[in-house]
Amino acid sequence: MLARTHAAIGFLTALFLFPFFRIKWFLFFPAVVFGSILPDIDHEGSKVNQLLPLTKYFSKLFKHRGFFHSIFPVLFFVFLELSFKLDGIGIALALGYLSHLLSDGLTPTGVNLLHPAAKLRIEGFIPTGGIVEAAVFVFVIVADIVKLFLLVL
C-alpha cells in the first residue's frame, strides 16, 4: 500500500486505540502514524526515507518486505518500552507498525510475519496503488473524520 493509505490507517488505529492507553495524545498520535509508515524503511523511494534521508541505507541492506515487514520490529518496540519506560512511545510505534503489516497483508504481495525465522505469510487481493486501494483510502479518510468527530463530541 501507499504511504498515504498506511498513514490514514495508522491514524484510524490511533483513534480507536487511544482510549485504551494512558499516553499523552500529542505523543500517541504522531508515534502511531509514524510507526505506520516506518516498515517501508526498506524501500528506497519510501516516504519515511524522504523524511529521514539517513534511513535510505536500510533499503540497500534489506530486501523490501523482508525483515522490516515482520513481527520482530514490533516486538523490539515493545521491548524498548518495557525496558526504558518511553512514556508509551514504544507501544504507539508498535501499534502503528502493526497496522502497516496488517494492511500490507491485504495486498497480493503480502507479508511474511516471521521473516527470516519461519513462514507465516498473509496476503490479500488489493493491488498497491490501484483503484481498490484508492477506494480503501477514501473510506479510511471518511472513517477517520467520523471517528474524530465522535471523539470530540
Task: Provide mean pLDDT across the span 51-72.
Answer: 93
Give how many domains the chain has, as a whole number: 1
What pLDDT band is residue 151 in, cutting at 50, 70 and 90?
Answer: confident
Residue 118 has pLDDT above 90, yes or no: yes
Grid cell for residue 133: 486501494
What pLDDT band is residue 138 in, cutting at 50, 70 and 90?
Answer: very high
Task: Provide mean pLDDT across the span 51-63.
Answer: 91
Task: Find the domain containing 52 and state its range.
Answer: 3-152
Residue 152 has pLDDT above 90, yes or no: no
